[in-house]
Chains A and B, each alone.
Chain A
Amino acid sequence: MNSKDGKIGLRGWLTHPNIGVVARVLLGCVFIYASLDKIRHPEFFAEAVYNYQLAPEMAVNLVAIWLPWLEFLCGVLLVLGLWVRGSILILSGLLLVFLSAIGINLARGLDIHCGCFTTQGSHSMNIFTLFRDLSFLFLALYLFWLYQIKSVRVKFSLSRVFKRD
């Protein structure tokens, strides 16, 4: 972790257990927060999914029922530090899907509400929505990389209690 002169290098910082725990809890909280309004208003979230005009009509409500709970569960597991690799794998996949959906609709010029954190509102998605999700994807990929390094032990993780990571 430390270089010869005692300073911590970039890899040292990136593999620092405290940085890892902050990144994990941050990404977990983002997805828990993102899921709450969708869970509260499934009908509005279904409309947001339909407005993207990407999912087949028969899949719109199924996505609206299931997706918020997937986000919530992954977020909770990340905060607790349990099944972290599985959660990150799902969230990375979800973020790729979100980025594609936003990118396609920005390219189409559709003026629709993102439905990312709130199901209702007048704020249309824009290029910043794309960059925001991209930053979350980088965070997820960083965590994925971090958890592949066997020597790194991220702190405050229930998986250490249950010996399941």
Chain B
Amino acid sequence: MSRSLLQAVAIILLSGTIGFAVNGFRSDGIPWVENWQEKVLNEQLTGGLPAVSVKEAIEAHEGDYALFVDAREPDFFKVGHIPGAINLPVKDFDGVFPTVKKRLLAAPRIITYCDGASCEMSVELTEKLLFAGLERVEIFTGGMQQWKAAGQKVVRGP
């Protein structure tokens, strides 16, 4: 019995080491601790579509784990957007999508956003992207408002 216990402890430690090491190295790893109540609330705002909090969005941006996609009109995008984001206005989806499709397909994770919680363009864009066959598309419901409030960098221009 004592040998069984020793083996069990060794297996638990080994699996934990492998699990946390793999999670640390993979591009779609998850944080060790997450605010699930906020996450579920976000998903209710997005009609059940996967959502990310501002903290997760910042982490994904800093780690270069995701491609940010701005769902707003080009004029708003030019005034200020998340660094590295591409513009795919939901109102001109059919026209712009073919030009950015390759980049979207190559991204391990896509995070859409617009102005903030009151704006629905990121939700609409996510629905269209999922319908177009893309996977791992999530919505940053806080959008530009929460991004700026968190003191994150904003870039101007096309």
Question: B14's contact among A57, A62, A73, by CB below 8 Å, is which?
Answer: A73
**Given A66-B16, A85-B3; A61-B8 close (CB under 8 Å):** no
CA distance A66 to B17 in the complex (A): 8
For residue B149, CB closer than 8 A to chain A, the reply is no
Q: B33 contacts the other chain (Cβ, under 8 Å)?
A: yes
State how many angstroms separate the Cβ of A126 from the closest Cβ of chain B. Answer: 22
Contact of B10 among A65, A69, A83 (CB under 8 A): A83
Interface residue? A115 (CB, 8 A)? no
Q: CB distance B29 to A42 under 8 Å?
A: yes
**Distance between Cα atoms of A61 and B29 in the complex (Å):** 10
Q: How far is the CA of A61 from the CA of B22 in the complex (A)?
A: 14
**Residue A87 interfacial (CB < 8 Å):** yes
**CB nearest neighbor in B for A44:** B50
Q: Are A77 and B11 in contact (CB under 8 A)?
A: yes
Q: Which residues of B contact A72 (CB under 8 A)?
A: 15
Q: Which residues of A contact B30 (CB under 8 A)?
A: 42-43, 46, 61, 64-65
Please determine whether A73 and B11 come into contact, CB atoms closer than 8 angstroms.
Answer: yes
In the assembly, what is the distance between CA of A73 and CA of B11, in Å? 7
| Separation of A66 and B19 alpha carbons in the complex (Å) | 5
Known contacts: A57-B36, A62-B33, A64-B30. The answer to whether A86 contacts B16 by CB under 8 A is no
Q: A61-B34, A66-B16, A86-B7 are in contact. List 19 more A-B contacts (CB 8 A).
A: A43-B50, A46-B30, A61-B30, A64-B30, A65-B29, A66-B15, A66-B20, A67-B19, A68-B19, A69-B16, A70-B12, A70-B15, A74-B15, A86-B3, A86-B6, A86-B8, A87-B8, A89-B8, A90-B11
